[in-house]
Chains A and B, each alone.
Chain A
Amino acid sequence: MNHYPLWKYLLILAALVLGLIYTLPNFYGESPAVQVLPLRANLKADAALMTRVGEALKNAQLSPEAMSLDASSVKARFADTDSQLKAKDILHAQLGEDYVVALNLLPRSPQWLSSLNALPMYLGLDLRGGVHFLLQVDMKGALDKALESATGDMRSALREQNIPYAGITRDGNAITVRFRDAESRSKGEAEIKQRFSGLNLNDSDKSSEFHLLATLKPQEETHIQETAVQQNLITLRNRVNELGVAEPVIQQQGLDRIVVQLPGVQDTARAKDILGRTATLEVRLVDDERIMSAGAAAPFGTEMFKDRDGSTLLVKKAVLLTGERINDAQPGFDNRTNEAAVHINLDAVGARKFKEATRENVGKRMAIILFEKGKGEVVTAPVIREEIGGGRVQISGKMSSEEAKDTALLLRAGALAAPMEIVEERTVGPSLGADNIARGFHSTQIGFIAIAIFMMAYYLMFGGISVLALGANLLLLVALLSMLQATLTLPGMAGIALTLGMAIDSNVLINERIREELRNGVPPQTAIHAGYDNAFATILDSNITTLIAGIALFMFGSGPIRGFAVVLCLGIMTSMFSSVLVSRAMVNLIYGRKARLNKVAIG
């Protein structure tokens, strides 16, 4: 009765072999490496780049252990950190600004494993060292900005259609347009309704004036906020690229938060500086008509800003264009004068707005203002020479090529659609990460050995089988974690230890049942059969309740806790497999074939 059909043995064997293959990469460890990523869309990581990198390294007498090419980058692996750092400097100098040269760790596993997609477990930041940021997007800021720009657009729309109005003001979340008579109000209302589908319009009369009250529709608010988060995500990606991090994680979390994880980054101050740069860009007109006396308040509808040299400029409040309309900005030179210049590429909406704005303001100056932490600074204030269409803009004059590069970087890294603030930071130094791995590994090892000794002493042969099954459980769990590339954190390592400690429960249940049957005088073969059968329902029940806890932890846990939950859930599945099927298969192989079994070694 204790026989498995052949296919069952084969299935178990196949699972174990697969488990072994996917666990293997974890034993080879990782080597320092450099990773070269092209920054621009028109540059590709291809064989040509790989040869270029290879040549550059060869010329510097550096011989990488291995080089590889994947969809987005060229990677070169080195024997030690010294050559890695040297290689980084050389590549950075030779390839220039168009490529990011990042430091990374690459698995040292042989080619055949890598080609099977067998990778070591993906270590979390608390194990490999690095920075984790949680950024909160200021949703109110996003709405403010949208309303401010709607106010400006309304003004120009009414002016364009020659609809007389007395004034437009924004008060909190509402825009009030004042008209002198009902007729122009209804005209204005029709015009605004046609152009701004996202606004709710309401009439209201105050004393002798006819007011039109515009507020954002709820769905429009959500839309604005969603786009703001998306825009900020893209901007952050660009900024992180400038940092040269090999495998950054930049994801939305919840409605209004963004997670940024930078493995291996040590210079947290610089990282924070670049990420936390709450820069937003705005293009506005310079008010050159009014002469400003020093110390006086800015006249109505204008604001004062300082430029880089420290002199003040009077700038109109109406925003022509915001940084989110900028697709790309590159440093370069003016074709005619050979002066340093910045070439800007606008998106379609930006191009149209820019065309209108420049047509109406030829000869005037426009200011490009960078807002950082609520303070604006005029980056540059060039004169508009002609109407500019097509979305290709060039800024030149009074700029060194170095300044042009800086300005382009600022423009390109883009504006944030809404301000952001760091609300959580977790930084782990590399030495602590290594310590954490050692501790986690060490405690699991000691615990495992203790359990093994105890089980074998208490249940003899069946204890040995249980320990082997527990070993299979560990193998499968590590293989599964490696296959899924789930992030392994320190609580995750604790989860591995804990699931191992808990998984032995199934085998204890089975062994105790078998003993009980034997005690009741049941013959050994029947006792084994009954023991496994009777214990199964209990094993299932108790594992499912733990699984419920694991799933809830996964749903509501954050960061490292989620790592624990993943391990817990996966560990329950592997332990069901190994403690029931694997151990049964072993018992069947050892005892099942004996026709006359008088005694089993179960203590």
Chain B
Amino acid sequence: MEFFKIKRDIPFMSYGRYTTTISLVTFVLAVFFLATKGLNFGVDFTGGTVMEVHYAQPADLNKVREQLAGIDLKDAQVQNFGSSHDVLIQVPLKQNTSGAKLSENVMGKLREADAGVEMRRVEFVGPQVGKDLVDNGAMALLLVSLGIVGYLWLRFEWKFGLAAIIANLHDVVIILGFFAFFQWEFSLSVLAAVLAVLGYSVNESVVVFDRIRENFRKMRKTEVAEIIDNAITRTMSRTIITHASTQMMVTAMLFLGGETLHYFALALTIGILFSIYSSVLVASPLLMIFGVSREDFIKPEKTEAEEVLP
């Protein structure tokens, strides 16, 4: 079986103007939604209390709200979670009450009405912790970006590192844009997924770049655009197959992994889809713009000898 029997190279580089416009538009849209709607940060980042409780029979949400209002928690959000038996209660941070005590009060009140209610999960995050997590997340993002640029610079050339990281940060911004537009909850595990996507989708660019470098050595007399076209066309089969495989795993998580893994898998899905696009249609045109040339690789004979790996 073979899906991709492409005889002639697809002239991707000649579409450069259109693809750059498309990515610019999506990027601007993502930034727009991030700026206007903002991310719906989960309790990990904002601080506050989240509780998941389980009832033996379908839960009456209004009754739960009344009970919570009875202990002065009118601003609590009450909603079903997964099934009608499960209830998610979210309480924002408060000035005076110690968050750690809050969950006990809530459970006490809920048990008064129905002794069978079961506590499934409690998460309380204090304000300082939330702030630290945001800081650490930003640090991780920065470090990953710098690390990748640095590595690609070493292995290829600075142009490649820069092109790859711009393409992939563009993916990250688009994922965040989706989360802002749909107001999906942005939690710690989503952040982990975003960073994993950054590492993963760089693979994509690396595979194409490897081919470009190889082509520069083999196809001595060809134009730069044609070299890139050839590299993309020849790696396309691998790109699609690999992403399809990874996506199979991620889809399984999306539907079977439960609520906690749902948004994690969702972020990965968006990331995987856009990384195909960006590595091919963003990173490579950027390389052209930065003016990549054969001389970047074939200067002295010595470097070439070093590049050869077992």
Which residues from chain A sit less than 8 Å from chain B, CB to CB? 126, 133-134, 136, 268-269, 272, 276, 421-429, 431-432, 435-436, 439-440, 442-444, 446-448, 450-451, 454-455, 457-458, 490-491, 494, 497-498, 500-502, 504-505, 508-509, 512, 515-516, 533-534, 536-538, 540-553, 555-561, 564-565, 568, 603
Minimal beta-carbon separation of A132 from chain B (angstroms): 9
- The smallest C-beta distance from B159 to any residue of chain A, in angstroms, reads 16
With a 10 A CB-CB cut-off, give which of B54, B103, B200, B204 has the most chain A CB atoms: B200
Q: Does B33 contact A (CB under 8 A)?
A: no
B99 proximal to A (CB < 8 A): yes
Q: Is the CB of A501 within 8 A of B250?
A: yes
B200 touches A546 (CB 8 A): yes
Selected from B121, B210, B245, B251, the residue in CB contact (under 8 A) with A538 is: B210
- CB within 8 Å of A: which residues of B? 1-2, 52, 54, 98-101, 103-104, 118-126, 128-129, 133, 136-137, 139-140, 143-144, 147-148, 151-152, 155, 188-189, 191-192, 195-196, 198-200, 202-204, 206-207, 210, 214, 234-235, 237-238, 241-242, 244-253, 255-258, 260-261, 264-265, 268, 309-310
Of the candidates B189, B198, B245, B251, the one whose C-beta lies within 8 Å of that of A561 is B189
Q: Can you name the residue of chain A whose Cβ is closest to the Cβ of B142?
A: A552
**A545: which of B99, B203, B245 is its contact (CB, 8 Å)?**
B203
Looking at the assembled complex, report how far the CB atom of B280 sits from the nearest CB atom of chain A, in whole angstroms: 15
Query: Do B191 and A561 touch across chains, with their CB atoms under 8 A apart?
Result: yes
Partner of B121, one of A429, A443, A544, A546: A429
A505 to B246, CA, bound (A): 8
Residues of A within 8 A of B188 (CB): 557-561
Do A537 and B136 form a contact, CB below 8 Å, given A134-B129, A545-B199?
A: no
Query: With a CB–CB cut-off of 8 A, which chain A residues contact B268?
Result: 498
Bound CA–CA A426/B48 (angstroms): 12
**B126 contacts A423, C-beta separation under 8 Å:** yes
Min CB distance A569 to B, Å, is: 11
Complex-state Cα separation, A272 to B102, whole angstroms: 12
Nearest-neighbour CB distance to chain B for A576, whole angstroms, equals 13
Q: A422-B124, A423-B128, A440-B257 in contact; A494/B195 too (CB < 8 A)? A: no
Identify which of A423, A448, A536, A561 contacts B129 (C-beta below 8 A): A423
- A34–B237 Cα distance when bound, in Å, is 56
Complex contacts, B207 vs chain A, CB 8 Å: 509, 538, 542
Whether B237 contacts A603 by the Cβ 8 Å rule is no
Taking a contact as CB atoms under 8 Å apart, the answer to whether B122 and A443 are in contact is no
Given the complex of chains A and B, what is the CA–CA distance between A545 and B161 in angstroms?
Answer: 11
Assembly CA distance A427 to B52 (angstroms): 10
Chain A residue numbers with a CB within 8 Å of B103 are 268, 425, 427
Assess whether B249 is in contact with A508, with CB atoms less than 8 Å apart.
Answer: no
A548 with B1: CB separation less than 8 A: no
A-B pairs, top 7 by smallest CB distance, nearest first, are A549-B199, A501-B249, A423-B126, A542-B203, A447-B249, A447-B252, A501-B246
Q: Which residues of B are found within 8 Å of A549, using beta-carbon distances?
A: 144, 147-148, 195-196, 198-200
**Majority SS at the chain B contact face:** helix
User: How far is B145's CA from A428's CA once the two chains are assembled, in angstroms?
Assistant: 34
A selection of 6 A-B contacts at a CB cut-off of 8 Å is A426-B121, A427-B123, A505-B203, A515-B2, A545-B152, A558-B136
Q: How far is the CA of A35 from the CA of B116 in the complex (A)?
A: 30
* A443: contacting residue among B139, B246, B253, CB under 8 A: B253
Chain A residues whose C-beta falls within 8 Å of the C-beta of B196 in the assembled complex = 498, 546, 549-550, 553, 564, 568
If A548-B147, A548-B148, A556-B136 are given as contacts, then 17 extra A-B residue pairs at C-beta distance below 8 Å, sorted by A number, are A268-B104, A272-B101, A422-B99, A422-B126, A424-B125, A428-B120, A432-B52, A432-B120, A443-B253, A454-B244, A491-B192, A494-B264, A508-B241, A546-B199, A557-B188, A558-B136, A559-B188
Most chain B CB within 10 A, of A136, A497, A534, is at A497
Bound together, the chains give a CA A389 to CA B9 distance in angstroms of 93
Give the docked Cα–Cα distance between A486 and B10 (Å).
47
Given the interface pairs A427-B122, A444-B252, A458-B1, the reply to whether A537 lies near B309 with Cβ below 8 Å is: yes
Q: Point out the residue from A423, A424, A458, A497 that lies within 8 Å of B249, measured CB to CB.
A: A497
Q: In the assembled complex, which residues on chain B have CB atoms less than 8 Å from the CB atom of A553?
A: 140, 144, 192, 195-196
Q: Are B118 and A272 in contact (CB under 8 A)?
A: no
Tell me which residues across on chain B come within 8 A of A548, comparing CB atoms: 144, 147-148, 151, 199
Alpha-carbon separation in the docked complex, A556 to B192 (Å):
10
Nearest CB of chain A from residue B100's CB, rounded to whole Å: 4
Cβ A454 vs Cβ B98 within 8 A: no
Task: Report whether B1 and A603 are in contact in the complex, using a CB–CB cutoff of 8 Å.
Answer: yes
> Among the listed B100, B200, B260, which residue makes an inter-chain contact with A272, where contact means beta carbons less than 8 Å apart?
B100
In the complex, chain B residues whose CB is within 8 Å of the CB of A455: 245
Q: Which residue of A lies closest to B136 (CB)?
A: A556
List the B residue with the shortest CB-CB distance to A275. Answer: B100
Known: A425-B100, A549-B196. A451 touches B245 (CB 8 A): yes
The one of B152, B191, B249, B258 that contacts A451, using a Cβ cutoff of 8 Å: B249
Q: How far is the CA of A508 from the CA of B265 in the complex (A)?
A: 22
- Bound-state CA distance A58–B150 (Å) is 66
* Inter-subunit contact B257/A443 (CB<8 Å): yes
Contacts of B203 in A (CB 8 A): 502, 505, 542-543, 545-546
- Give chain B nearest CB distance to A519 CB in angstroms: 9
